[in-house]
Chains A and B, each alone.
Chain A
Amino acid sequence: MIPSPFEYHAPTALPDVIALLSQYGDEAKLLAGGHSLLPMMKLRFAAPGHLIDLRKVAELKGISVVGSQLHIGAMTTENELIFSKLVAEHLPLLAEVARQIADPQVRYKGTIGGDISHGDPGNDHPAVMMAMDATFVLTGANGERLVKATEFFHGMYDTALTPGEVMTQIRIPIPAAGTGSSYAKLKRKTGDYATAAAAVVIRLQAGLCTQARIALTNVGPTALFAGDAAASLIGKPIDDVTITQAANLAMAICEPAPDLRGDEAYKTAMAGQMVERALRLAVAHVK
């Protein structure tokens, strides 16, 4: 319950965040919503010497439409995603996912950028970002660089973020007409991490699948991009046969860690079930 002592910093502008990060190096951790970091600090799994609170950095907030993309500030909270009119209009999947994350209090604090940067395979946004073909803006002393969601997750708690960088924005293409999407999450109770979950974005034209992206939550050391499963749908109708085939291809890439949520076989089977469910829902959501 009691974290180790640390120094607290509350910069008000992005350049100050970058300067503090370079000054304190490995000793520093960025504090966003604090609903993964503080719990780890309370259990002394993490004991950073310096916390850099991003709460007052205005550049990290806000949702806007820029061209054919939705730009979301990394410090946007889960409840802000749920209540956002722009998200409801352009990316309803994102609000649907946020409603399945944690609980109301956590969603007032927890941020989309923190959920992604944490690199926990149990978090929901990573797979959803892969399915939506999101791009992350990472800002450091040398300026900005863009990293695709599919390139970002390297291992458990290990991402493309390098020391001195902060995720500043999430950019998501607004789906074209004919697109359907869904997130199917199996969990023991509200507020739990997924036993297995699947994010699906598909596009149908004249009854045939022209685009498909599928990604999986909590059935590997990172969120998993199920490229083969998605590719198997292209040019075909989405029916019982193709759905089963895609689910089998998705199950083939699973390497879940056994824990109190179940063993490898159960989690893998549930990943397949979630892919099937998400595909059927995505078809129903096409508009």
Chain B
Amino acid sequence: MSKKTIVSFKLNGAAIDVMVEPRELLIHTLREKLSITGPHIGCETSHCGACTVDIDGASVKSCTVLTVQCEGAELLTIEGFAKGGVLHPLQEGFTQEHGLQCGFCTPGMITRAYRLLQENPNPTEEEIRFWMAGNLCRCTGYQNIVKAIQYAAAKMRGETVTTSHPLMAEISA
């Protein structure tokens, strides 16, 4: 058997120490030890991206990284997006543009889209589809996810956002 080690990292701004076996996958540490159950598990072959988290400025599938590799890292998960109860523009965009149905891929989608918009604040539709290719969705057909990311990108650039969704007035009030 292998020895357990203590791993220290920052998770959504908070310092965390957690004791793990080397073989423990980050997604399991997050979900089972740290109650971060937003990131999900949709496969065992590193395709679906439901487990995507942001580690040191990179979108990473947390099913394919060991927790011991996160020593000293800064992690962001879906739980870290809203500030003081106010939704992040991406969360708002996915709501307004109907970018989710079952919600299982959504935490990974939003976390990936966050890094995409950091690198490219004004992506074309083609660029959004290309740079979101690591995240699968069973429900939406992707169309509204593209619109949700465009909505968030516009809002993050400080532009006026519009949608036909009836809740829009309530959210912007």
| CB <8 Å contact, A105 and B23 | no
Measured between C-beta atoms, what is the minimum distance from A261 to chain B in Å?
16
B47 within 8 A of A: yes
A205 within 8 A of B: no
| CB <8 Å contact, A6 and B22 | yes
> Which residues of B from 59 to 74 have beta carbons under 8 Å from A?
59-61, 63-66, 68-69, 71
9 more A-B contacts (CB under 8 A) besides A104-B131, A190-B133? A2-B23, A4-B23, A6-B2, A8-B5, A41-B23, A42-B25, A42-B44, A104-B132, A106-B64
Residues on A with beta carbons closer than 8 Å to the beta carbon of B39: none
B112 within 8 A of A: yes
- A83-112 vs B, Cβ < 8 Å mask (1 yes, 0 no): 000000000000000010011111011000
Q: Which of A7, A35, A53 contacts B64 (CB 8 A)?
A: A35
Q: A3-B23, A5-B21, A8-B22 are in contact. Are A103 and B49 (CB under 8 A)?
A: yes
Separation of A121 and B104 alpha carbons in the complex (Å): 34
> Which residues of A from 13 to 55 have beta carbons under 8 Å from B?
34-35, 38-39, 41-43, 51, 53, 55
Q: A34-B65, A35-B46 are in contact. Are A6 and B134 (CB under 8 A)?
A: no
- Residues on A lying within 8 angstroms of B by beta carbon are 1-8, 10, 34-35, 38-39, 41-43, 51, 53, 55, 79, 99, 102-106, 108-109, 190-191
Ordered by A's residue number, 7 sampled pairs between the chains whose C-beta atoms are within 8 Å are A1-B25, A7-B3, A7-B22, A41-B23, A104-B112, A106-B46, A191-B134
B58 within 8 A of A: yes
Residues on B with beta carbons closer than 8 Å to the beta carbon of A79: 58
Measured between C-beta atoms, what is the minimum distance from A102 to chain B in Å?
8
| CB <8 Å contact, A108 and B64 | no
Measured between C-beta atoms, what is the minimum distance from A37 to chain B in Å?
10
Q: Which of B5, B21, B47, B68 contacts A191 (CB 8 A)?
A: B47
Residues on B with beta carbons closer than 8 Å to the beta carbon of A5: 1-2, 21-23
Residues on B with beta carbons closer than 8 Å to the beta carbon of A43: 44
Measured between C-beta atoms, what is the minimum distance from B25 to chain A in Å?
8
Nearest-CB residue, chain A, relative to B65: A34
B77 within 8 A of A: no
Residues on B with beta carbons closer than 8 Å to the beta carbon of A4: 23
Measured between C-beta atoms, what is the minimum distance from A33 to chain B in Å?
9
Residues on B with beta carbons closer than 8 Å to the beta carbon of A106: 46, 61, 64, 134
B52 within 8 A of A: yes
| CB <8 Å contact, A53 and B23 | no
Separation of A191 and B46 alpha carbons in the complex (Å): 10
Measured between C-beta atoms, what is the minimum distance from B115 to chain A in Å?
8
| CB <8 Å contact, A104 and B22 | no
Nearest-CB residue, chain B, relative to A42: B44
| CB <8 Å contact, B133 and A104 | yes
Q: Which of B1, B21, B63, B133 contacts A103 (CB 8 A)?
A: B133
